[in-house]
């Protein structure tokens, strides 16, 4: 594709009608270097305007109710499903990932969209709660109300799946959303906002602002009711500091250093297949990508032989036949090379893959004999690398897997997988499968430690974008009216007896 053919001069007309003084930025496709889009850098004022419009839209959207919103969200899902190839094309163009992987990313989001729209009422709607013995005269109800306007800041690595994990759940809960995609993938954000406007033409319920980190910071300061951030741990700290200025709460979905544990009784072919895919898909640029593999010593050599054979058949490239695409962000190439060099300097070896880098194309690397405290085992590499280590027992595997400041996802292969999973310090564990927890719409997605806090997906993901409200009414007058100065000494004596019976026997 030539630069001319590839360029989409897209602007958000609601902001930019008649403006010629606007600063802009270009998006280049990582594989070809072609400019594939030019977008405005939205300023603090632009972002505040968007949030002001969103506030009006939020009231209208909340009034639609669960059923009305479900209808629109289902229609949005229909557009995504019908135009999956078109959207996949933009994802591939902006991120450099193979087109088939881009289409898979869109396909995986559809279940989440359906789940959020379908379950929002059941999870968030008004429901009665039980009273206690001393509170039998009271009847309580709880409901989860939308916050108003949610700001979403997204990364480029899964520019559909990742931000929609926040956006769709925030929308289903009744909020309006202002979305700031990564400066590497604004075209995907623009496509999503345009598609949503087709099913919700009445109000700007889902808006786009584009730019670099400064536009993101403006969104943090704009008065949104919550900020859902997905990106690196370092940026999350800046986002949290900026949001603290206005006491804006945040969800932080950050990086990871996920381990895969392979037990002695694991299906080795399945484990190898899983490790290769979870480690190298999207050129390793996945927050829940496997970066470290810990294998029981009894099967370590057999596992490594199968793994190296499989990786040797894989090639990274910018051409359509390559299963692994180029690295999206030029600056990440330096991080990956630094981690590999550090591992080799400290006694590590390349067991499979390797080879010269070509521009932003980095070949896969399987590294062995890498010390636990090497960068490739402690920091997020975010590239097509896997370290493989040997463990004597599952106890050792758990201890080494947990020896990281991150705690996002993990994978276990073996018959004791569920038992091992429960001892891992991570928000999600997939057993005898990879990326399983991310696929299932009904379970929460998120991490602990440096991987962040808060949850998207599942019931927790819906509640994340709401505030609970308790309404408690008196059904009848209590025989022990405690909340009154009319309380008598006799009543207090009775209270003492009741309390002793109810709570004093423990």
Active centre residues (catalytic): 253, 287
Residue with smaller CB distance to ligand NDP, 101 or 380: 380
Q: How far apart, in whole angstroms, are the C-alpha atoms of residue 246 and residue 89?
A: 39
Give the residue, chosen from 153, 228, 324, 351, that forms a contact with ligand NDP under the rule CB under 6 A: 153
Consecutive H or E run containing 39: strand 35-40
Q: Which stretch binds ligand NDP (CB under 6 A): 40-48, 154-162, 194-202, 355-363?
A: 154-162
Candidates 392, 203, 364; CA nearest to 296 is 392
**Contacting ligand NDP (CB under 6 A), which of 240, 260, 272, 287?**
287
Q: Which member of 231, 274, 458, 459 binds ligand NDP (CB under 6 A)?
A: 231
Q: By CB under 6 A, what part of segment 321-340 binds ligand NDP?
A: 329
Reported in sequence order, the residue ranges of 231-335 that DSSP labels E, i.e. its strands, are: 250-253, 258-262, 290-296
The position carrying tokens 């594709």 is 1
Min dist CB 364 to ligand NDP, Å, is 18
| Contacts of residue 19, Cβ cutoff 8 Å, sequence gap at least 6 | none
Residue 61 vs 184, nearer CB to ligand NDP: 184
Q: Answer yes or no whether residue 216 interacts with ligand NDP by CB under 6 A.
A: yes
From CA 411, how far away is CA 290, in angstroms rounded? 8
CB of 219: closest distance to ligand NDP in angstroms?
A: 7
Q: Which of 6, 213, 223, 359 binds ligand NDP (CB under 6 A)?
A: 213
Q: How far apart are CA 25 and CA 208, in angstroms?
A: 15
Cα distance between residue 29 and residue 3, in whole Å: 10
- CA pair distance 175, 153, nearest whole angstrom: 15
> Which of 40, 96, 146, 154 touches ligand NDP by CB under 6 A?
154
Residues 175-204 that bind ligand NDP (CB under 6 A): 180, 182-184
Pick from 29, 95, 162, 387 the residue near ligand NDP by CB under 6 A: 162
The correct pick among 156, 169, 179, 196 for binding ligand NDP (CB under 6 A) is: 156
Q: Which two tokens stand for residue 376?
A: 């490739």
Site residues for ligand NDP, 106-125, by CB under 6 A, read none
Count of CB atoms situated within 10 Å of the CB of 60: 14
> The tokens of 113 are what?
């969209």
CA 481, CA 465: separation in Å to the nearest integer? 37
Query: What x/- string results for residues 379 through 418 when contact with ligand NDP is judged by CB under 6 A?
Result: -x-x-------------------------x----------
Stretch that binds ligand NDP, among 57-65, 68-76, 208-216, 495-503 (CB under 6 A): 208-216
Q: Which residues contact 195 (CB under 8 A, 6 or more apart)?
A: 76, 79, 80, 83
Of the two residues 254 and 283, which places its CB atom closer to ligand NDP in the complex? 254
For residue 170, give the H/E element and its range: helix 161-172
Q: Can you tell me which residue has the tokens 């990364």?
A: 155
Q: Are 444 and 457 in contact (CB under 8 A)?
A: yes
Stretch that binds ligand NDP, among 31-39, 152-160, 201-209, 367-375 (CB under 6 A): 152-160
The rounded distance, in Å, linking the Cα atoms of 16 and 178 is 16
Size of the site for ligand NDP (CB under 6 A): 32
Structure tokens given for 348: 């590590």
For residue 432 the two structure tokens come to 């005898």
Does 461 sit near ligand NDP (CB under 6 A)? no
239 φ, ψ (degrees, to nearest 5) = -60, -45
Task: Tell the smallest beta-carbon distance from residue 345 to ligand NDP (Å).
Answer: 24
Q: Which residue lies nearer to ligand NDP by CB, 224 or 368?
A: 224
Show contacts with ligand NDP in window 242-271 (CB under 6 A): 242, 253-256
Q: Which residues bind ligand NDP (CB under 6 A)?
A: 153-158, 162, 180, 182-184, 212-213, 216-217, 220, 230-232, 235, 238-239, 242, 253-256, 287, 329, 380, 382, 408
């Amino acid at each position: 594709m030539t630069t001319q053919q590839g360029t989409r001069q897209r602007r958000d007309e609601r902001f930019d009608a008649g403006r010629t003084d606007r600063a802009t930025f270009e998006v280049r496709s990582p594989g070809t270097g072609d400019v594939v889009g030019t977008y405005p850098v939205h300023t603090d004022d632009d972002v505040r305007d968007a949030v002001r419009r969103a506030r009006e839209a939020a009231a209208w959207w909340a009034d639609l109710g669960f059923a009305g919103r479900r209808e629109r969200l289902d229609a949005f899902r229909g557009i995504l499903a019908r135009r999956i190839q078109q959207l996949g094309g933009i994802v591939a163009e902006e991120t450099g990932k193979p087109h088939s992987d881009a289409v898979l990313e869109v396909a995986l989001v559809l279940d989440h969209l359906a789940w959020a729209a379908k379950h929002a009422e059941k999870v968030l709607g008004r429901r009665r709660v039980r009273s206690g013995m001393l509170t039998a005269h009271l009847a309580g109800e709880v409901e989860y109300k939308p916050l108003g306007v949610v700001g979403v800041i997204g990364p480029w690595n899964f520019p559909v799946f990742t931000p929609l994990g926040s956006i769709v759940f925030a929308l289903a809960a009744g909020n309006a959303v202002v979305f700031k995609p990564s400066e590497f993938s604004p075209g995907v954000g623009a496509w999503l906002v345009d598609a949503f406007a087709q099913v919700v033409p009445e109000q700007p319920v889902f808006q786009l602002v584009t730019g670099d980190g400064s536009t993101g910071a403006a969104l943090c300061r704009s008065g949104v009711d919550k900020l859902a951030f997905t990106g690196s741990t370092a940026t999350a700290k800046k986002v949290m500091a900026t949001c603290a200025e206005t006491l804006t709460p945040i969800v932080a979905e950050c990086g990871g250093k996920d381990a895969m544990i392979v037990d002695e009784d694991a299906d080795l072919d399945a484990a190898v297949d899983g490790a290769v895919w979870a480690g190298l898909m999207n050129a390793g640029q996945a927050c829940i990508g496997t970066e470290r593999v810990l294998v029981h010593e009894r099967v370590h050599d057999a596992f490594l032989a199968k793994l190296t054979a499989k990786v040797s058949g894989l090639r990274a490239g910018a051409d359509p036949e390559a299963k692994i695409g180029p690295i999206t962000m030029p600056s990440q190439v330096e991080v990956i090379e630094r981690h590999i060099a550090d591992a080799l300097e400290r006694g590590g070896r390349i067991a499979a893959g390797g080879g010269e880098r070509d521009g932003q194309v980095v070949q896969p690397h399987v590294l062995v004999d890498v010390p636990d405290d090497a960068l490739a085992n402690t920091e997020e590499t975010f590239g097509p690398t896997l370290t493989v280590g040997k463990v004597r027992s599952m106890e050792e595997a758990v201890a080494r897997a947990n020896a990281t400041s991150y705690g996002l996802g993990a994978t276990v292969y073996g018959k004791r997988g569920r038992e091992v999973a429960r001892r891992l310090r991570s928000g999600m564990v997939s057993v005898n499968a990879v990326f399983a927890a991310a696929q299932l719409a009904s379970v929460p997605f998120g991490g602990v430690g440096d991987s962040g806090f808060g949850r998207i997906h599942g019931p927790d993901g819906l509640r994340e974008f709401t505030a609970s409200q308790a309404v408690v009414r008196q059904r009848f007058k209590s025989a022990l009216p405690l909340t009154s100065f009319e309380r008598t000494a006799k009543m207090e004596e009775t209270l003492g007896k009741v309390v002793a019976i109810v709570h004093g026997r423990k």
